[in-house]
Structure 1
């Protein structure tokens, strides 16, 4: 049995997206939350920067596709913010080019359809000491570099009227963020992912979008077919005795 097409949420970005479906990842949290409400599709590519994304943007999000996503959550900037040396270990993109790349990405995504919504994730903070511990003194990532590219992302989103989440600031409000949010100083541990998922859900709840993409306000699929179904029209329990 095939019902009406469910909304599709696409997670598009570098390794923070690619790893988000792992144990406790924010992509997995969204997939669990939106079960029976939306399909969460991962398009994450480890090591990529905004320059790489532009090269395949039309292939991943063709404008002539029969069905367009309801939401695209986009993250680039961490790799772009890397120091330019050593060149063989860096995915650095100069800040002016990064801003222009992200502008092109946002413009393309917004043009997919009148109902396609876009959220950009700003660059999260980083634990510099942990980065050196895992990657050595020549490590190209830094918390300060992330701040600069995060602020550029937020400013651009404000100009383009695209929703953005300031992860760099929000995550550092957690008292123990340095020790709990990362696996290696850069990539997110489950505690870091919980923050990302929470802020995405907050953004979706606050957005004045029609139709709403907040999970509590979205219909569930095939409700009422089974008397043992655990979910009602508004997400309430019908019968929990399985």
Structure 2
């Protein structure tokens, strides 16, 4: 059983979308849930989460890889690149060359490494346009994992994540239900028993075209345009955010 868990990445790993004021940075997320389940089996577990929202892959690797390795983890989770794929232009091959090297270093350290494919956004009009990029990213990830010996959590295959009820209002981040689903899949990949419950939804609400347009307009005003304005100003949602768990610490089990 792992004794030192280090989570690296961006908002996905930080836990954005799963709001909880009882947790650092005001968010919980799948990584905290995984740590809590691992700690139930291994009371001596120490957990650090260096992920920061808004980070591009180059920033994740430059700012988190060395500090993560210095903690001598025996289990590392790594996801990066989602923010790069949303940029107007991206060299996915070059991006994944850097990812490959980073994963190789983590594996060579002796740690078990868990990586992730991207989610299939086929049922969302905006993210459907990114399917090609995400598919290329995913194939690179699968090949790297196979060659390096990393574990893969295949979120592309998690059909439940296509349901918008798994997502926060910004449509960019998973909500509590979505983060729980990812935690379950990580624990399954590790072969660890857990007490997390998957959500089974009933039929989705049927919206008229007018209702759908109204929802999309409200989303654009509240979430999409602020994101675009930050990009135009060269700002990031993580510019003033610190890692939620910058050092290895014991895990507080939820009541």
Fold conserved (TM > 0.5)? yes
Which whole-Å deviations, capped at 9, do the CAs of 1:40-66 have from their partners, x for residues lacking one?
Answer: 31111111122112323553134xx4x
Larger Rg: 1
Answer whether contact 1:76 1:123 (CA < 8 A) is retained: no
Unmatched segments (≥5 aa) in structure 2: 21-27, 195-255
Which whole-Å deviations, capped at 9, do the CAs of 1:98-125 have from their partners, x for residues lacking one?
Answer: 110111110111122x3x1111112223
Q: Classify 1:25/1:194 alpha carbon distance in 2 versus 1 (closer, same or farther; 3 Å).
A: same
Match of 1:30 among 11, 27, 34: 34
Match of 2:152 among 164, 167, 183: 164
SS of equivalent residue, structure 1 residue 48:
coil
Answer whether contact 2:153 2:185 (CA < 8 A) is retained: yes
Counterparts of 1:9 and 1:203 in 2: how far apart (Å)? 15
1:98-109 → structure 2 map (5 Å cutoff):
98-109=95-106
Match of 1:203 among 189, 194, 210: 189
Counterparts of 1:71 and 1:97 in 2: how far apart (Å)? 26
Comparing both structures, which one devotes a greater share of its residues to helix?
A: 2
- Normalised TM-score (structure 2): 0.62
Q: Classify 1:54/1:32 alpha carbon distance in 2 versus 1 (closer, same or farther; 3 Å).
A: closer
Q: Paired residue for 1:182?
A: 167
1:1-242 → structure 2 map (5 Å cutoff):
7-19=3-15, 22-23=19-20, 25-35=29-39, 36-57=43-64, 59-62=66-69, 65=70, 68-84=72-88, 93-112=90-109, 114=110, 116-126=111-121, 129=124, 142-170=130-158, 172=159, 174=160, 177-183=162-168, 184-205=170-191, 214=192
- Normalised TM-score (structure 1): 0.65
Q: Classify 1:105/1:94 alpha carbon distance in 2 versus 1 (closer, same or farther; 3 Å).
A: same
SS of equivalent residue, structure 1 residue 44:
coil
Counterparts of 2:76 and 2:129 in 1: how far apart (Å)? 26
Q: Paired residue for 2:199?
A: none
Q: Classify 1:43/1:125 alpha carbon distance in 2 versus 1 (closer, same or farther; 3 Å).
A: farther
Displacement of 1:22 in angstroms is 4.2
Answer whether contact 1:15 1:47 (CA < 8 A) is retained: yes
Unmatched segments (≥5 aa) in structure 1: 1-5, 85-91, 133-139, 206-213, 217-242
Q: Classify 1:27/1:57 alpha carbon distance in 2 versus 1 (closer, same or farther; 3 Å).
A: closer
